[in-house]
Structure 1
Amino acid sequence: MKLTILGGGGFRVPLVYGALLTDHAEGRVTEVVLHDLDAGRLDAVVRVLAEQAADVPDAPAVTATTDLDQALRGAGFVFCAIRVGGLEGRANDERVALAEGVLGQETVGAGGIAYGLRTVPVAADIARRVARLAPDAWVINFTNPAGLVTEAMSRHLGDRVIGICDSPVGLGRRIARVLGGDPREAWIDYVGLNHLGWVRGLHIAGRDELPRLLADPGLLGSFEEGRLFGADWLRSLGAIPNEYLHYYYFNREAVHAYRRAERTRGAFLRDQQARFYAEMREPGARALTAWNRTRAEREATYMAENREAAGAGERAAEDLSGGYEKVALALMRAIARDERTTLILDVRNRATLPVLDSEAVVEVPCLVDANGAHPVAVAPLPGHATGLVCAVKAVEREVLAAAESGSRAAAVKAFALHPLVDSVTVARRLVEGYTDVHPGLAYLK
């Protein structure tokens, strides 16, 4: 089976390939095609993958190309992990937003909107090409903002595009571990949008153990989200929010921490990865060693500003291993081999959340089989969560409208309606600032 990875020169591609190397069953991926616009980055990643596969006799064959149509033809799965504008674009997203006193994070608030506006047209074109060149392929989307991009692609691919994220998986794993359960056997009642969801229950052997966690300050203080949000606030919510909700619940503190930081997250990653790819141009460089060293630093500094603002301390060692690649592999196995499983995924709503229409992409537990991902019925959201989910989905719809029509007014509306942008005037300045630095937004008129 052929797997095509779009964004194949991306730094995290070795995580996906590493997961594939653990799969030796019939029907596994035997061919990986890396596609990227940057041939130099492709060469660097191919070197890392070659060292990963050195001691694996049945490792999937790897080829690389800058020809998108060639990469897509014959694919059984397409893994989409592109970054339109690169890390320089992410750094600009952060810089323009922070200059206006609002959040520039790549998936949340002004930065997420800017990223979405330049990514959606590219993702929609990819979806149309997949529909034409590989109509039987399943697209696994990890391109951020993941929910928004998945919804844009679903307009061309229907249910054959499925979004993944490692945040819900990591959160559920941490909660289960604290409660003494096996994360693989726990049922996680998680619902919301991508980077905007809540764990409302965690069932171990049929019993919801979340009330026990919420009632114990010691347990709440023993894992990342407990320290990030604080025991009192979690008890008030009666749920454990996704870590990205820290940007909403503690927005002023987060913006202050980001403005005080020596460099934004995007600028840090831009500089860090530039060093890695430069090192990979040296013929004698040990590719896998350099990649592992760079990845460890990257993971340890994840959401560092938020942890600093909350006094949450360093990340636990067991949370430095990522996880989205395991979700991707489990998803592919379930579909390709009908190995039925349950995963938290980004899929079209259907009737899962009555406050949203059927085409809205939501992030919920899904039963996965050879026919794809099927969202599980969930209880209604509480009022405070419903308000946030509906507001952010309305913003996503304005981004999609702007990307489809090229309407600058729709783009301004998207910024102005977001809960973390506090002024229409600021929204207009943001659109001006972003169009000045992003050639990919020249379509807005």
Structure 2
Amino acid sequence: MKLAILGGGGFRVPLVYGAVMGDQGSRRVDQVCLYDVDPGRLEAIGQVLRQLAEEHPDAPKVEVTTELDVALDGADFVFSAIRVGGLEGRTADERVALDLGLLGQETTGPGGLAYGLRTVPAALHVAERVAAICPRAWVINFTNPAGMITEAMQAVLGNRVIGICDSPIGLGRRAARALGHDPDRASLGYVGLNHLGWLNGLGYDGRDVLQDLIADDQLLATIEEGRLFGAEWIQTLGCIPNEYLYYYYFTRDAVTSIRGGAETRGEFLLDQQRAFYDAVAADPDSALNRWRQVREQRDSTYMKETRGEAEERDDADIAGGGYEGVAVAIMAAIARNERSTMILNVRNGSTVPGLPADAVVEVPCTVDADGPHPLATAPLAGHQLGLVQQVKAVEQLTIRAARDHSPRLALQALALHPLVDSVTTARTLLTNYKSRHPDLADLLR
């Protein structure tokens, strides 16, 4: 089978290739085509993959291209991880918000909406080319904001677009391990939107053991979310929030921490990756070793603003996710009808009452040859549903604004987001984002 990876020059692409190499099933990916608009980044990651392939004689063949239609031609699966505007765009998204005293984060709050506005047109173009060139392919979307972009692409390709994220996977696995249980045998009760969900059940050997964890302060302190939110707040909620909910529950703390830092996450990654790509261009033979070194540093500093200066993320937390493993599991389930259960971003239908049927939600699904099938979920509590409904309405306004080239809808989306405190501030945000992003100014004329 052929796998096309869009955003093929991205730093995390070798993780996907590594997971693909580990699949030894009868019908598996034997051809990987990387597509990117940046030839230099594309060649650097191509070098990393070729050097990985040298360690595995049966590794899939690697091709690179700067032509989207070439990458899509004959593809059975399309993995989309594009970043419109690169890390330079991300740093602008973050800084415009921070300069106004608002949360500056890539996917959450105004920065996430700016990123969505810039990305939806590119995602729709990709969806249209998939429909024209490989209409039977399945699209696995990791492009952020993942829920919003998945929903936009589904308007063209329907349920053949599946969104994935590593945050809920990591949370569930950490929770199971904290109780001494095998994460692979646990079933997760999880519901919400991408980067906005709650673990409200943890099935093991026929019983829900989540409250055993929530009731134990010492066990909670062994997982990232327990240290992040504190046992008292988790016990008050009666469930464990996704780590990104820190930005909603502790907004002032997060903004203060980010503004007090020497640089934003985007600025850190921009400097780190510039150094990486420049070094590989100068010494291609060092590509794989350099990538491994940089990856270790990148993982250990993930969401650093939510922890104390001296506190490091432990190895179990870092290893707890694994979106690349989910991507391969989806491909195996569909291609070989290997029925599997995982948390995915999919069309709601009637899964989460109170949300539109066409809304993309993040819930457990079973996946087989026909694709994902959402499982029944526990109802959201009132405060959860209210937040989810508001953020989903904002996401859908953002999609419409980008699709219809509407500054009015873009302003409405910014003003209605729960992390933006004034319509006046929303107007300033929109003006400043258009100033920092000429492509956004052209889109919203």
- The normalised TM-score by structure 2 is 0.98
State how far apart, in whole Å, the 2-side matches of 1:284 and 1:237 are.
51
Matching residue of 1:247: 247
**1:45-444 equivalences in 2 (<5 Å):** 45-283=45-283, 285-308=285-308, 313-321=311-319, 322-441=321-440, 442-444=442-444
Secondary structure, aligned partner of 1:409: helix
8 Å contact from structure 2 (residues 347, 357) kept in 1: yes
Report the CA distance between 1:285 and its aligned residue.
Answer: 4.1
Report the CA distance between 1:44 and its aligned residue.
Answer: 0.3
Deviations 1:235-262 (A, max 9, x none): 0000000000000000000000010110
State how far apart, in whole Å, the 2-side matches of 1:274 and 1:99 are.
24
Secondary structure, aligned partner of 2:183: coil
State how far apart, in whole Å, the 2-side matches of 1:59 and 1:203 are.
36
Report the CA distance between 1:284 and its aligned residue.
Answer: 5.3
Aligned residue identity for 2:287:
A
Report the CA distance between 1:439 and its aligned residue.
Answer: 2.1
Moved beyond 3 Å, runs of 4+: none
Report the CA distance between 1:192 and its aligned residue.
Answer: 0.2
Report the CA distance between 1:318 and its aligned residue.
Answer: 2.1
8 Å contact from structure 1 (residues 296, 320) kept in 2: no
State how far apart, in whole Å, the 1-side matches of 2:165 and 2:247 are.
18
* Residue ranges of structure 2 left out of the alignment (5+ in a row): none
Report the CA distance between 1:58 and its aligned residue.
Answer: 1.4
State how far apart, in whole Å, the 2-side matches of 1:55 and 1:92 are.
39
Aligned residue identity for 2:240:
I
Farther-moved stretch of structure 1 (115-124 vs 54-63): 54-63
Deviations 1:23-76 (A, max 9, x none): 122110000000000111111011101111113121100000000011111100
8 Å contact from structure 1 (residues 103, 255) kept in 2: yes
**Number of matched pairs:** 443
State how far apart, in whole Å, the 1-side matches of 2:26 and 2:299 are.
33
Secondary structure, aligned partner of 2:104: coil
8 Å contact from structure 2 (residues 197, 242) kept in 1: yes
Deviations 1:290-346 (A, max 9, x none): 0000001101110001113xx893211122245110010111100110000001000
8 Å contact from structure 2 (residues 20, 29) kept in 1: yes
8 Å contact from structure 1 (residues 33, 65) kept in 2: yes
* Residue ranges of structure 1 left out of the alignment (5+ in a row): none
Report the CA distance between 1:283 and its aligned residue.
Answer: 3.4
8 Å contact from structure 1 (residues 199, 239) kept in 2: yes
Secondary structure, aligned partner of 2:29: coil
> Over the residues paired in the alignment, what is the CA RMSD in angstroms?
1.0
| Percent identical residues | 60
8 Å contact from structure 2 (residues 247, 254) kept in 1: yes
Report the CA distance between 1:357 and its aligned residue.
Answer: 1.3
8 Å contact from structure 1 (residues 93, 106) kept in 2: yes
State how far apart, in whole Å, the 1-side matches of 2:311 and 2:168 are.
21
State how far apart, in whole Å, the 1-side matches of 2:175 and 2:297 are.
24
Aligned residue identity for 1:370:
A
Report the CA distance between 1:282 and its aligned residue.
Answer: 1.6
8 Å contact from structure 2 (residues 44, 284) kept in 1: no
Aligned residue identity for 1:108:
T
Secondary structure, aligned partner of 1:286: helix
8 Å contact from structure 1 (residues 299, 320) kept in 2: yes
8 Å contact from structure 1 (residues 116, 149) kept in 2: yes
Aligned residue identity for 1:368:
V
Farther-moved stretch of structure 1 (247-256 vs 208-217): 208-217
State how far apart, in whole Å, the 2-side matches of 1:76 and 1:284 are.
30
Aligned residue identity for 1:417:
L
Farther-moved stretch of structure 1 (280-289 vs 213-222): 280-289
Farther-moved stretch of structure 1 (29-38 vs 54-63): 54-63
Aligned residue identity for 1:9:
G
Deviations 1:108-146 (A, max 9, x none): 001000000000011011101101110000000000000
8 Å contact from structure 1 (residues 92, 437) kept in 2: yes
8 Å contact from structure 1 (residues 279, 285) kept in 2: no
State how far apart, in whole Å, the 2-side matches of 1:423 and 1:388 are.
17
Secondary structure, aligned partner of 2:415: helix
